[in-house]
Each structure stands twice: as C-alpha cells, then as structure tokens.
Amino acid sequence: MFTGIIEDRGKVMRVEYQGQEKRLAIGLPSHLTEVQLGDSINVNGVCLTVVRNKEQVIELDLSQETLERTVLGELKEGDQVNLERALRLTDRLGGHIVTGHIDGIGVIVEKRKERDFFQLRLKIPESVSRYVVQKGSIAIDGISLTVNEHWREEVQITLIPYTIEKTTLKDKKAGDRVNLEADILGKYVEKLIGQRDKKSGEVDRSFLIEHGFIKGD
C-alpha cells in the first residue's frame, strides 16, 4: 500500500530481456535506504517486488501482465522513474490510498505553463473515468494528484512547483503515455451499490446506514 507522495526519482541503470518478461535495474538516491530484498516499492505507479539489492541498485522483475497493462515496458536505460516505498502503519497518509495496481493507460494531451505552475490535460480510458470525480484523487505514474476538471474522456490537473521538481512529470510532454490508478474507494462504492441493486433495485437510507455512509438516528 502507498500514498502517492513520491519520495524521489530513480534512474534506470539496465533493462534485461528474459523471454517475454523483463528485469529492471534502478539506481536509488542515497537517502532512500531501508530497501530490503522482497520489499514492495512503487515504480511509476506500479507495485513491484525487490528481487535484488546491491549498493543502492535494486532489481525488479516485470511479468508479461505488467508489460501488457502498464507503460513500464517502454522504459530504457537512463530514464527517470518515480519511487515510493511501501506505507508503514505509523506514517501520515499525505496523499490518498494507492495500491500500485494500474487501471489503465492515459495520454498527455496538453502541458501548459502558467507562471510557476503547469496545467496538465490527459485523455483517460473508461476503466478509469468511471471512478473519477471533480476535486477527487487520481494517481498518475504513482503521483497522488487532485482532479481540477473532469470530462468524459479527459481530466485536467494542476501541477505545483514541488511536484514538477520531485517527479518525472517535469520531463513529460504531449503524446507521452502514463500509468493511471483510480481511487479505490469508488470501486468499493460501486460494488456495494451493485450488490444492493441485485437485491432490491435501489439504494435507500437503510443501505447507507448499514454500510457506514451515514449515521443512524
């Protein structure tokens, strides 16, 4: 489990082909310590397992499923990636709940500078759009961001200077593809409502009280 608050960027040191799979070697910044063999780490929004760690260089395996469902397969030597270590129970939840399981791939339509900020517009698939709400959260390449505007197939995000400097969005441009993860809370609500619809065909006050959305009298 992650928060979408990127700790720093890493550098792709090596990409190895292993049949239909790949292995990434990523150099960690000096302050990202306490990364152990078997740990989960979020790389550009994808939860991966550390299979080797030597002298601040970690290795991670990319399965065929990961290569098909994310843009990690497009990484090459020298590329920068967003990194976040797994959340500890005592940590602050500064962003939102991020699982590291990608729901779809988005495409940057426009990146426009406004003073010290950037306005980012992305085209998103229906698999993500159905869970997006205005002023809600979305993870883009692992970064927890707030949706300013939401149309059926697009979202607009404002990037503050800190996010621009700390993440790979600094170097992204129109046409680039990014990993997207919708807020998991929306998926749970959809499932609960769907179960209710099968039973009674409606969502009433008793349903909302039963599932903790509102308090009873």
112, 172: one domain: yes
74, 142: one domain: no
pLDDT at 102 over 60: yes
What pLDDT, on a 0 to 100 scale, did the predictor assign at position 199? 56
Closest CA to 102 of 45, 153, 49: 45
Asked, for residue 141, whether it belongs to a domain, the answer is: yes
- Say how far apart CA 118 and CA 113 lie, in whole Å: 4
Question: In the predicted model, what is the mean pLDDT of the chain?
Answer: 91
What pLDDT, on a 0 to 100 scale, did the predictor assign at position 90? 85
Closest CA to 176 of 132, 110, 77: 110
What pLDDT, on a 0 to 100 scale, did the predictor assign at position 182? 96
DSSP labels, 21-79 = EEEEEEEPPTT-----TT-EEEETTEEEEEEEEETTEEEEEE-HHHHHHSSGGG--TT-
Closest CA to 22 of 83, 71, 82: 71
Asked, for residue 19, whether it belongs to a domain, the answer is: yes
Asked, for residue 209, whether it belongs to a domain, the answer is: no
What pLDDT, on a 0 to 100 scale, did the predictor assign at position 213? 67
Higher pLDDT, 202 or 160: 160
Asked, for residue 38, whether it belongs to a domain, the answer is: yes
- Is residue 106 within 8 Å of 178, Cβ to Cβ? yes
| Measured CA distances, 144 to 30, 111, 122 (Å) | 23, 18, 15
pLDDT at 196 over 70: no
Give me the residues paired with residue 12 across strands: 26
pLDDT at 51 over 90: yes
125, 70: one domain: no
109, 80: one domain: no
- For 30, counting Cβ atoms within 10 Å of its Cβ (0-12 exposed, 13-18 middle, 19+ buried), the class is exposed
- Say how far apart CA 193 and CA 196 lie, in whole Å: 5
Give me the residues paired with residue 110 across strands: 121
What pLDDT, on a 0 to 100 scale, did the predictor assign at position 190? 82
In 10 A of CB 41, how many CB atoms?
Answer: 23
State the average pLDDT over residues 59-80: 97
80, 108: one domain: no
pLDDT at 120 over 90: yes
What pLDDT, on a 0 to 100 scale, did the predictor assign at position 193? 75
Asked, for residue 25, whether it belongs to a domain, the answer is: yes
Helix (H, G, I), strand (E, B) or coil at 81: strand
What pLDDT, on a 0 to 100 scale, did the predictor assign at position 2? 96
15, 52: one domain: yes
pLDDT > 90 fraction of the chain, expressed in percent and rounded: 79
State the average pLDDT over residues 151-165: 95
Domain count for the chain, please give it.
2
Asked, for residue 81, whether it belongs to a domain, the answer is: yes
109, 75: one domain: no
pLDDT > 70 fraction of the chain, expressed in percent and rounded: 92
CATH of the domain at 115: 2.40.30.20
State the average pLDDT over residues 109-116: 95
57, 122: one domain: no
Asked, for residue 196, whether it belongs to a domain, the answer is: no
What pLDDT, on a 0 to 100 scale, did the predictor assign at position 206? 73
Domain endpoint, select from 51, 85, 119: 85
Put residue 141 in one of left, alpha, beta given phi > 0 → left and psi -120 to 50 → alpha: left
For tokens 């190895």, the residue is 16
174, 117: one domain: yes
179, 114: one domain: yes
What pLDDT, on a 0 to 100 scale, did the predictor assign at position 92? 84
pLDDT-wise least confident of 4-8, 25-29, 88-92, 176-180:
88-92
127, 58: one domain: no
Asked, for residue 66, whether it belongs to a domain, the answer is: yes
Domain span at residue 44 reads 8-85
